[in-house]
Amino acid sequence: MRSLIEAFPTHILESLEIGRKAKLTKKTGIRTILATGLGGSGIGGKIASQIVGDSCTIPFLTNNEYSIPNWADEHTLVIVSSYSGGTEETLAALEVALERKCQIVCVTSGGKVKEIAEANKLDTIIIPGGNPPRSMLAYSLIQQLFILDFNGLWAGDFEKDLEAIVKQLTASQDNIGTKALKLAEQFVDRLPILYTEARLEGVAVRWRQQINENGKKLCWHGLIPEMNHNELIGWETANNNLGVLILSDGLEYDRNAVRTEICRGIFTKKVDLVETIQAEGDSKLARMFYLIHFGDWFSYHLAIVGKQDPVTIVNIDLLKSELAKL
Catalytic site positions? 213, 229, 320
Compute the half-sphere exposure of residue 120: CA atoms within 13 Å on the CB side of its CA.
20
- In angstroms, rounded to a whole number, what is the distance separating the alpha carbons of residues 135 and 76? 29
β-strand partners of 308: none
Q: How far is CA 177 from CA 76, 211, 237, in A?
A: 41, 15, 33
Task: DSSP for 76-114, please give it.
Answer: EEEEEEESSS--HHHHHHHHHHHHTT-EEEEEESSHHHH
Picking from 157, 149, 156, the residue whose alpha carbon sits closest to that of residue 77 is: 149
Cβ contact 143:17 at 8 Å: no
To the nearest 10°, the Cα dihedral for 251, 279, 298, 314?
50
φ, ψ of residue 192 to 5 degrees: the values are -80, 135
Longest dimension (CA), the chain: 60
Cβ contact 195:246 at 8 Å: yes
φ, ψ of residue 83 to 5 degrees: the values are -60, -50
φ, ψ of residue 45 to 5 degrees: the values are -65, -40
Cβ contact 248:277 at 8 Å: yes
Picking from 75, 74, 72, the residue whose alpha carbon sits closest to that of residue 36 is: 72
- In angstroms, rounded to a whole number, what is the distance separating the alpha carbons of residues 182 and 207? 17
